[in-house]
Amino acid sequence: AATTELPTGGFVFENTQRNKFIEGQGYQVPKAYKTGTTICGLVFKDGIVLGADTRATEDTIVADKNCAKIHYISDNIYCCGAGTAADTEMTTLMISSELELHKLNTGRQPRVCTANRLLKQMLFRYQGHIGAALVLGGVDVTGPHLYSIWPHGSTDKLPFVTMGSGSLAAMATFEDRFKADMSREEAMKLVRDAICAGIFNDLGSGSNVDLCIITKD
């Protein structure tokens, strides 16, 4: 009887010949998309400040100069999206409706950790094929919370986070000037400057700066 060999660990190069043949036929091999965006968020004394640029790109073309990247999740939770615009839009919309049903079922304000769990479980289920890199922020009964969510479903809970192709420039600004318990004005200025750093140092980011301030009120 023929036995099938179990694959060993490491990289698999089974499809290299196939891909070479497909390329030879004049077809284009799929390439990884670059996330042209700068989004970020930070925790301040009374809540959360989220920020995003407004440029949407299609390869080297600016597709939209004023695209809203800060999405509504619930009254106390908002989410910035980087990556494939359609994926971020649809993902946040679906989780927003799930949380609304959760709120109606429980009669309570949804928590940020619930939104985080729903988002990460959905993205993990699709193994990274949904190109949504998110910055989730909100204030609930337990205080302000900020998460970064990667397309494969991993999450980080931090006092300040950045995402997208301009995230390194924004992170440099945060690491230089962030301090705990900042005032609302200081936090807004810092997030604005972090997004501006992304806009000026990354071709995939540009146009305007959008800010979203979330407090317990």
Active site residues: 37
Distances (CA, A) of 161 to 9, 60, 71, 137: 33, 26, 17, 10
State the Cα–Cα distance between residues 116 and 95, nearest whole angstrom: 9
CA-closest candidate to residue 84, choices 148, 123, 137, 33: 33
Query: Which candidate, 181, 178, 185, places its Cα nearest to that of 161?
Result: 178
Integer Cα distance of 17 and 23 in angstroms: 10
Q: Is 151 strand, coil or helix?
A: coil
Are 71 and 163 spatial neighbours (Cβ–Cβ below 8 Å)? no
Spatial contact of 150 and 188, defined as CB atoms under 8 Å apart: no
Q: Which residue is it, tokens 């501006």?
A: 196
Distance from the Cα of residue 131 to its chain's centroid: 9
